[in-house]
Structure 1
Amino acid sequence: MKQFNRYLVTAALPYANGPVHIGHLAGCYLPSDIYVRYLRARKADVKFVCGTDEHGVPITIKAMQENVTPQDIVDKYHAIIKDSFASMGISFDIFSRTSNQVHHQTAADFFKKMYDDGLFEEKESEQYFDEIKQVFLADRYIIGTCPNCGNDKAYGDQCERCGTSLSPEELINPRSALSDAVPVKKKTKHWYMPLQNYEPWLKQYVIEDHKEWKANVYGQCKSWLDNGLQSRAMTRDSNWGIKVPLPDAEGKVLYVWFDAPIGYISATKELTANWADYWCKEDTRLVHFIGKDNIVFHCIIFPAMLKAHGGYIVPDNVPANEFLNIEGEKVSTSRNWAVWVHDYIKDFPDQQDVLRYVLCSTAPETKDNDFTWKDFQDRNNNELVANLGNFVNRTMVLMHKLCGGKVPAMHADVKNAADDAIFTMLQDQKMKIAESLETFRFRDALNEVMNVAREGNRYLQEKQPWILAKTPELQAQNQQLIDNCLHVCLQLTANLAVFINPFLPFTAQKICHMLKVVDRMLDWENAGSMKLVSVGYSLRAPELLFKKIEDEQVKEQVEKLHAGLKQSAAAQQAAATPAAEAPAAPAKPEIQYDDFAKLELKAGTITHAEKVAKADKLLKLTIDLGTEQRTVVSGIALHYAPEAIIGKQVTLVANLAPRKMKGIESQGMILMAEDKDGKLVFVNPDQAVAPGSGVS
């Protein structure tokens, strides 16, 4: 087995278009955190990187829905997501963002190197175009019926119901997510990566060299490779994203699945000056934690990119989880059928470890699994409270009551086989837990930790020190037996803190506080030791590690889920229902012909358009009037992309006094009309006329 000197662990970059829910946690963030905490306890050289993916189409769709800019969206949700992870104890070494300058530069340089090496195919192809919005549609802007499961809200790149990867051409009845119009095909130029050229290497890398990968990962990759790979576009038509670093690429950005995984590299650059040690040295183990919907991108496309670029290591393992359902239904953010992490923190303050425990013990490691609030309650009350919490609390209470609040000595002359069996059990469990963690079987590892607590409860019940101390006379007679029992139980409690730390870090800290030990006791090398707490040392008063979840709390959470579903359905219905016709605007005062005659209206052609910096609604237009070029600032940026209106004819109020807007002198005003949906449309001649023609 290959030996590694350092580890680089990544968790999938969440889209910054909404908060994170418990399905996200169970999918990759909790498993990756458990693994990293274990590696740190082993004193391994490990970096744990993540950040928000801020260039995906979901960002721009969310911005349109909320009538704000994409930057507003990513700023808002980056903060919410980062706080949610921190609150749950997800211990990233860095939580970056793909909007950071270091990422833009890293991704652009990565693309340019591949381009300079001749690794892209430049192709002109027909792609879907929204004639109403006058924009090319990225895959996620296209919605239709999934040919696999019949979901009528599948995206052009993937069906979120069944997880099937799609192309827009495969959708049944495709429509634009922006206008609901049927898109048309229009020619555009892009740069493609010929993935088929990397098939032989990928087959060796995945199918031959990594048969140890989880069955769901290995199987999905093998299926893709068996079916044959094709060239895939690595650029898109858009104004939001990392601009393609080529002179003839106006209006083109990097494909989000080219851009996003490079975010792992740029985040590592931000984290440490020695970033290349983690990305370029063969004795580094790169592990990607993801959900099953990202398998192809992390196991085929990104490794092919790294191989093509050269100089980088490729993932050694990609332990992807399946999906977590909620109360028997698939999570749906659009229907608000989700348990949001930031809401959980508000409703269950200081109970982060309860959720961590439940999500790990029911983790969808091999198949989709279900989260229910009743199971949440049962696991808390019957496992955390009644097993782990019960053992630690009884040990601490009895130690204070029967041993004066100090760690009792171990008396060799009354020591027996049951005492020795605890030490043997701890050694065995240490190996079982470590083996499960190192093979990404976190549910099994957590179950073995809880078995340690069960053994502690069994041992304590067998010894019954409270019976040995039923009267003062009995206690005096049996004090050495009592001391031995509670000494073993205290050492076992300390071991539980070491074992539980990767899974329930807040609970491990509570145990350390009660035992008055420092954090270094949680190092993995200490697991299995019977000398973790010192004889004669005074310990703090016991405190409950967990508290019961009551029926009323469960009822409230289930009602909250269904209330959110109803609110979402009502909002969607309202959006789909045509609004009542707005009352006509009041008529303006009557004018005379001479007033109208003062206007000089001319037909012009837009020859150039660009966004005005720091102005979401403004475009700077250059308009050809035949004998001159006019600069006009117009508030149409929310309705038209700059590149979509080049060549459009407009009607210009040519003798309007100049006016400065955002420091730009606007030399006229174009006439626009507003349709029933509030969209601005051009008022222009019904057929092309020469620029500068009069309008009367």
Structure 2
Amino acid sequence: MMENYKRILVTAALPYANGPIHIGHLAGCYIPADIYVRYQRAQKRDVKFIGGSDEHGVPITIRAMKEGVTPQDIVDKYHAQIKDSFEKMGISFDIYSRTSNAIHHQTAAAFFKVLYDKGLFEERESEQYYDAEANMFLADRYITGTCPVCGNPGAYGDQCEKCGSSLSPEQLIDPRSTLSNAIPEKKTTKHWYFPLQNYEAWLKQWILEGHKEWKNNVYGQCKSWLDNGLHPRAMTRDSNWGIRVPLPDAEGKVLYVWFDAPIGYISATKELTEHWADYWCSEDTKLVHFIGKDNIVFHCIIFPAMLKAHGGFVLPDNVPANEFLNIEGDKVSTSRNWAVWVHEYIQDFPGCEDVMRYVLCANAPEAKDNDFTWKDFQDRNNSELVAIFGNFVNRTFVLMHKLCNGKVPPFHNDIIDEADKMLIAEIHAAKEKTEQALETYHFRDAVFEVIDLARKGNKYMQEKEPWIVAKSLNANRENQKLIDNCLHLCLQLTANLSILINPVLPNTSRKMLHMMKVVERMLDWENAGRADLLKVGYSLRAPELLFRKIEDAEIAAQIEKLHAGGQEQVKQQAGLIEETEKTVLPLKPEIVYDDFAKLDMRIGTIVSAEKVAKADKLLKLEIDLGFEKRTIVSGIAQHFQPESILNKQVVVVANLAPRKMRGIESNGMILMAEDASGQLVFINPDSFTGNGSTVS
């Protein structure tokens, strides 16, 4: 509730920019966070929604090594893809930033320096794992071994992703380097440790006494950590990728990713507004972290202790973490490709973004791990969204056009009956129940209340049977009043559904607004619960189907795709797929040297890029060739976001005859390669020194 708060700051966990996001990410924190924020906006409260990509840490460097590119190449690629996936799924961040931004480097380094200047760090020399073959110290994620808790042979040095246990490299059984598979040795190095044990008493009071309202899974995990005792934790690492430790004797040291990442919430807020301190430093701010359960210790213990040590910052009011979402009875595994990738879902089910939002909310792992199955996805869409919610709205509009001339009919108080009164009461009660659920982070309950209201609307209409009453209109004109009252209340209920479902299904809600010919202001929460939202005599548009039925063949294809992808990944990891087995496109017809000699190929730099209107595949590029700038239209929009290719060098066919594409004159062509997955990649012209250099 908002009794003591003037503003709300909502953060969602920063995803690692080392791969695409899957639906487990959405279910874990992003959809719950977005629902909460959209609700607060509807309440006209001052709320800011902060997100961004975590672009430091070992997973980034591991991915870069696997792909043979730089860490910057990795984060540029996946930041753009993740941001695009969030936008298309309706995750309405006020800002989606990235920890590679200069403002974040400055903010995180300054935060560390404040703690250092206060003398809070313990400087220690210790023996840490070192890979002699790779000639480098091994961060926790560069070490794998057998988990001492569950026996998983692929546990990392900081966490077992199978059982969720937090670990240290020393706890692993038979540790090995992920770089060379060598057995790591111990070597002396110096780091700065944050003394968590000094904040143990304060944390016990703040969490165990002050936040008993937190979810059981969050409270219980915090209590377990605190009961077992806290210990100093290194806040620096040996690496060349990350935020440099701002000390003169710290060459080759960077900030620990879990020190710098949560500070990303602060730096992103700075980037968003010059009034950032109002949201981070004023006691009348309500700070809420939405995360998955694997991040509880960092957001509830380590980051609050850091904020307390620094001073001047608000502390989280709540951390409503969700549990994990499994896929078809098995844990999500990116290494086995056992996941439903968001960008692929968007391609496979265009226009169905709200359906996935609904399913992941209705089946959210709020209190325990839950299982996503494609059959349940289909059933919830067809049986709930189509058959209950969509059916009620469609029947209401069809009958209104057929029996009331396409206008909101009057309500006749002289013939109101108990069923009418009951439905009006249900509309009011639905608002109260939904509001209570949203305020207390029970988003599954909120969705149930809205669908249940639509179910009650269907029942009311079925009992009133206005289509039957209409058959006797000629014999009894009073029957029009019965039809009017029934459809008047069904239309008012429809208007309420659009308000109540808006935080969960924003696209659906806007379709309903279009049908009702009303502006978005009606979605303000203060309008919910009323039975007079649509004015008598107001003409409404023809009905549109809000949802489509999902067919068995579509579901079968997704299940086959999931299993095929997992099997393919296992084969690749086992080395069973040889390069020679990959499909090779046949050579084009033979040419002679004179044909090739006619081509004038030059090196150019992309200085601007933008999408071409109404063309899904085209980008309009401005390319600096050194001696002039060219406009070139290229069909690469489905492979790259415009911002991700700025300042990239490309090979340009410079003497190609101009050609108009979508009304834009294109003067040339860029050359690209296609990898085994069908993804376009840049032909790297590193050997050339300047724009305009020739390729021969």
User: TM-score, normalised on structure 1?
Assistant: 0.83
* Counterpart contact for 2:27–2:364, Cα < 8 Å: yes
In structure 1, how many angstroms separate the alpha carbons of the residues matched to 2:391 and 2:439?
A: 29
- Cα 1:402/1:661, change in 2 over 3 Å: closer
Displacement of 1:427 after TM fit?
Answer: 1.6
- Cα 1:132/1:471, change in 2 over 3 Å: same
Q: How does 1:312-331 map to 2 (within 5 A)?
A: 312-331=313-332
Aligned pair 1:6/2:7, yes or no?
Answer: yes
1:18 maps to amino acid: G
In structure 1, how many angstroms separate the alpha carbons of the residues matched to 2:211 and 2:362?
A: 27
In structure 2, how many angstroms separate the alpha carbons of the residues matched to 1:83 and 1:295?
A: 27
* Counterpart contact for 1:130–1:137, Cα < 8 Å: yes
Displacement of 1:662 after TM fit?
Answer: 7.9
1:451 is matched with which residue? Answer: 452
In structure 2, how many angstroms separate the alpha carbons of the residues matched to 1:80 and 1:534?
A: 44
- Cα 1:128/1:474, change in 2 over 3 Å: farther
Q: How does 1:502-651 map to 2 (within 5 A)?
A: 502-574=503-575
In structure 2, how many angstroms separate the alpha carbons of the residues matched to 1:109 and 1:475?
A: 80
In structure 1, how many angstroms separate the alpha carbons of the residues matched to 2:226 and 2:476?
A: 72
* Counterpart contact for 1:146–1:172, Cα < 8 Å: yes
2:375 is matched with which residue? Answer: 374
Give secondary structure in 2 for the equivalent of 1:481.
helix
* Counterpart contact for 2:473–2:480, Cα < 8 Å: no
Q: How does 1:100-119 map to 2 (within 5 A)?
A: 100-119=101-120
Q: How does 1:489-504 map to 2 (within 5 A)?
A: 489-504=490-505
2:198 is matched with which residue? Answer: 197
What are structure 1's unaligned runs of at least 5 residues?
580-613, 616-659, 664-696
Displacement of 1:576 after TM fit?
Answer: 10
Q: How does 1:242-253 map to 2 (within 5 A)?
A: 242-253=243-254
1:499 maps to amino acid: L
Displacement of 1:7 after TM fit?
Answer: 0.2
* Counterpart contact for 2:50–2:268, Cα < 8 Å: yes
1:72 is matched with which residue? Answer: 73
1:380 maps to amino acid: N
Give secondary structure in 2 for the equivalent of 1:96.
strand
- CA radius of gyration, larger in: 1
* Counterpart contact for 2:304–2:316, Cα < 8 Å: yes
Give secondary structure in 1 for the equivalent of 2:436.
helix
In structure 2, how many angstroms separate the alpha carbons of the residues matched to 1:394 and 1:662?
A: 67
1:407 is matched with which residue? Answer: 408
In structure 2, how many angstroms separate the alpha carbons of the residues matched to 1:661 and 1:469?
A: 80
Once the two structures are superposed, residues 149-173 of structure 1 have per-residue CA deviations (whole angstroms, 9 ceiling, x without a partner) of 1111111000011110000000011
In structure 1, how many angstroms separate the alpha carbons of the residues matched to 2:497 and 2:558?
A: 31
In structure 1, how many angstroms separate the alpha carbons of the residues matched to 2:497 and 2:244?
A: 52
Displacement of 1:476 after TM fit?
Answer: 3.6
2:34 maps to amino acid: D
Displacement of 1:423 after TM fit?
Answer: 1.6
1:186 maps to amino acid: K
1:584 is matched with which residue? Answer: none
Give secondary structure in 2 for the equivalent of 1:316.
strand
Once the two structures are superposed, residues 306-365 of structure 1 have per-residue CA deviations (whole angstroms, 9 ceiling, x without a partner) of 000000011110000000000000000000000000000001000111101110010000
In structure 2, how many angstroms separate the alpha carbons of the residues matched to 1:234 and 1:316?
A: 25
1:513 maps to amino acid: H
1:336 maps to amino acid: N
Aligned pair 1:279/2:270, yes or no?
Answer: no
In structure 2, how many angstroms separate the alpha carbons of the residues matched to 1:410 and 1:437?
A: 32
Aligned pair 1:149/2:128, yes or no?
Answer: no
In structure 1, how many angstroms separate the alpha carbons of the residues matched to 2:266 and 2:204?
A: 24
Aligned pair 1:310/2:311, yes or no?
Answer: yes
Give secondary structure in 2 for the equivalent of 1:128.
strand
Displacement of 1:574 after TM fit?
Answer: 1.4
In structure 2, how many angstroms separate the alpha carbons of the residues matched to 1:536 and 1:259?
A: 59
1:418 is matched with which residue? Answer: 419
Displacement of 1:413 after TM fit?
Answer: 1.4
- Cα 1:129/1:516, change in 2 over 3 Å: same
Give secondary structure in 2 for the equivalent of 1:26.
helix
In structure 2, how many angstroms separate the alpha carbons of the residues matched to 1:431 and 1:528?
A: 8
In structure 2, how many angstroms separate the alpha carbons of the residues matched to 1:220 and 1:40?
A: 31
Give secondary structure in 2 for the equivalent of 1:278.
helix
* Counterpart contact for 1:516–1:539, Cα < 8 Å: yes
Give secondary structure in 2 for the equivalent of 1:574.
coil
1:179 is matched with which residue? Answer: 180
In structure 1, how many angstroms separate the alpha carbons of the residues matched to 2:488 and 2:428?
A: 17
Give secondary structure in 2 for the equivalent of 1:286.
strand
Displacement of 1:570 after TM fit?
Answer: 1.4
* Counterpart contact for 1:31–1:289, Cα < 8 Å: yes
In structure 2, how many angstroms separate the alpha carbons of the residues matched to 1:246 and 1:105?
A: 13
1:668 is matched with which residue? Answer: none
Give secondary structure in 2 for the equivalent of 1:62.
helix
1:573 maps to amino acid: A
Displacement of 1:375 after TM fit?
Answer: 0.5
In structure 1, how many angstroms separate the alpha carbons of the residues matched to 2:484 and 2:321?
A: 47
1:481 is matched with which residue? Answer: 482
In structure 2, how many angstroms separate the alpha carbons of the residues matched to 1:120 and 1:333?
A: 36
2:207 is matched with which residue? Answer: 206
Displacement of 1:416 after TM fit?
Answer: 1.5
* Counterpart contact for 1:142–1:155, Cα < 8 Å: yes
1:387 is matched with which residue? Answer: 388
* Counterpart contact for 1:469–1:475, Cα < 8 Å: no
Number of residue-to-residue matches in the alignment: 587
In structure 2, how many angstroms separate the alpha carbons of the residues matched to 1:256 and 1:304?
A: 16
1:435 is matched with which residue? Answer: 436
Q: How does 1:30-69 map to 2 (within 5 A)?
A: 30-69=31-70
What are structure 2's unaligned runs of at least 5 residues?
581-646, 649-686, 691-696
* Counterpart contact for 2:472–2:479, Cα < 8 Å: no
In structure 1, how many angstroms separate the alpha carbons of the residues matched to 2:467 and 2:457?
A: 16
In structure 1, how many angstroms separate the alpha carbons of the residues matched to 2:472 and 2:277?
A: 68
In structure 2, how many angstroms separate the alpha carbons of the residues matched to 1:179 and 1:191?
A: 27
* Counterpart contact for 1:468–1:475, Cα < 8 Å: no
2:521 maps to amino acid: R
In structure 1, how many angstroms separate the alpha carbons of the residues matched to 2:453 and 2:407?
A: 23
Once the two structures are superposed, residues 63-121 of structure 1 have per-residue CA deviations (whole angstroms, 9 ceiling, x without a partner) of 00000000000000001000100001000000000000000000000000110010100
Percent of aligned positions that are identical: 72
Aligned pair 1:235/2:213, yes or no?
Answer: no
In structure 2, how many angstroms separate the alpha carbons of the residues matched to 1:94 and 1:326?
A: 30
In structure 1, how many angstroms separate the alpha carbons of the residues matched to 2:190 and 2:243?
A: 17
Displacement of 1:136 after TM fit?
Answer: 0.4
In structure 2, how many angstroms separate the alpha carbons of the residues matched to 1:578 and 1:458?
A: 61
Once the two structures are superposed, residues 164-216 of structure 1 have per-residue CA deviations (whole angstroms, 9 ceiling, x without a partner) of 00000000110011111110000000000000001111111111100010011
Aligned pair 1:222/2:216, yes or no?
Answer: no
In structure 2, how many angstroms separate the alpha carbons of the residues matched to 1:215 and 1:73?
A: 37
Q: What RMSD in Å do the two structures reach over aligned CA positions?
A: 1.9
Large movers: runs of 4+ above 3 Å: 474-477, 575-579, 660-663
Displacement of 1:259 after TM fit?
Answer: 0.3
Once the two structures are superposed, residues 392-447 of structure 1 have per-residue CA deviations (whole angstroms, 9 ceiling, x without a partner) of 00000000000000111111112222112112112211111111111111101110
In structure 1, how many angstroms separate the alpha carbons of the residues matched to 2:271 and 2:16?
A: 20
In structure 1, how many angstroms separate the alpha carbons of the residues matched to 2:523 and 2:436?
A: 18
* Counterpart contact for 1:303–1:315, Cα < 8 Å: yes
Aligned pair 1:295/2:296, yes or no?
Answer: yes
In structure 2, how many angstroms separate the alpha carbons of the residues matched to 1:375 and 1:71?
A: 39
Give secondary structure in 1 for the equivalent of 2:247.
coil
Aligned pair 1:337/2:338, yes or no?
Answer: yes
Give secondary structure in 2 for the equivalent of 1:562.
helix
- Cα 1:239/1:460, change in 2 over 3 Å: same
In structure 2, how many angstroms separate the alpha carbons of the residues matched to 1:558 and 1:476?
A: 56
2:168 is matched with which residue? Answer: 167
User: TM-score, normalised on structure 2?
Assistant: 0.83
In structure 2, how many angstroms separate the alpha carbons of the residues matched to 1:560 and 1:56?
A: 31
2:633 is matched with which residue? Answer: none
2:139 is matched with which residue? Answer: 138
